[in-house]
Amino acid sequence: MFNLWQRVGGISDEEKTPKTRLIDIVAKLSSKIKTSAAAAMGSNDAGLFENDSVDALAYKSQVVAGTNYFVRVRIGNTFFHVRIYEGFQGVPEVTRVVGPKSETDPIEYF
């Protein structure tokens, strides 16, 4: 039987397809995501992904004092995992980008 208290604060089990709201958040934060992705690759070139779109492919979430979204994104032909925190005030922010990743790397807490 599922024990609710073992899951409080944990990351969701199943990867989900992003809905319009999360897609819009990723689009709004795309410039910061691109800059952080370039840094994750060890590049100081802020324009590395300048002409590439950021596409949200899948995500998991974690309820804390707000919500953490762990999102698999594709920037050009490169995949990254992005953590976005959205507090109760509804202001999302990129808190971490890791990668590059493969398209099939599971989304885990980072």
Q: How far is CA 28 from the centre of its chain?
A: 13
Task: Return the pLDDT at 8.
Answer: 55
Segments of the chain with pLDDT less than 70: 1-9, 46
Any domain includes 47? yes
| Structural domain span for residue 91 | 16-101
Which CATH number do you get for residue 20?
A: 3.10.450
Any domain includes 36? yes
3-class DSSP state of 69? strand
Any domain includes 107? no
pTM: 0.88
Any domain includes 108? no
Any domain includes 65? yes
Least Cα distance to 61 among 87, 91, 95, 84 occurs for 84
Task: Return the pLDDT at 6.
Answer: 38
pLDDT tens readout for residues 50-71:
999 999 999 999 999 999 999 9
Any domain includes 83? yes
Token reading at 58: 């899948």
